[in-house]
Homo-oligomer: A and B are copies of this chain.
Amino acid sequence: MAVTSLVMVTAPTSAETLTGSGYEAADPNQPQLRVTDLSATRGDGVFETIGVMDCHVQSLTSHLHRLAASAAILDLPGPRLDVWRAAVEHALDRADPAPELSAKLVLSRGEEGSRRCTGWVRVAPAPDMSRARADGVRVLTLDRGYRSDVAETAPWLLQGAKYTSYAVNMAALRYARRHGADDVIFISSDGAVLEGPTASVLLRIGNTLVTPGTDQSILPGTTQDRAFRYAENAGLATQARRVEAAELATAEHLWLCSSVRLCAAVRELDGRELTWDRRLTADLLSWLRTTHD
**Which residues from 38 to 73 on chain A have a C-beta closer than 8 Å to any C-beta of chain B?**
39-45, 47
A144 to chain B, nearest CB (A): 8
Which residues of chain B are within 8 angstroms of A28 by Cβ–Cβ distance?
34-36
A34 touches which of B33, B43, B164, B175 (Cβ 8 Å): B33
Q: Does A106 contact B (CB under 8 A)?
A: yes
Q: What's the dominant secondary structure at chain A's contact region?
A: mixed
List the B side residues contacting A164 at CB < 8 Å: 40-43, 165, 167
Q: A153 to chain B: which residues have CB within 8 Å?
A: 143
Q: Does A37 contact B (CB under 8 A)?
A: yes
28 A-B contacts, Cβ less than 8 Å apart? Answer: A6-B35, A29-B34, A30-B34, A31-B32, A31-B33, A32-B33, A33-B33, A33-B40, A36-B122, A39-B39, A40-B40, A41-B104, A42-B170, A43-B164, A44-B166, A44-B170, A75-B171, A142-B154, A143-B150, A144-B157, A145-B147, A145-B150, A155-B175, A156-B171, A156-B172, A158-B168, A158-B171, A165-B165
**Extra pairs beyond A43-B164, A74-B171, A145-B145 (5, CB < 8 Å):** A31-B32, A41-B166, A142-B156, A143-B150, A156-B175
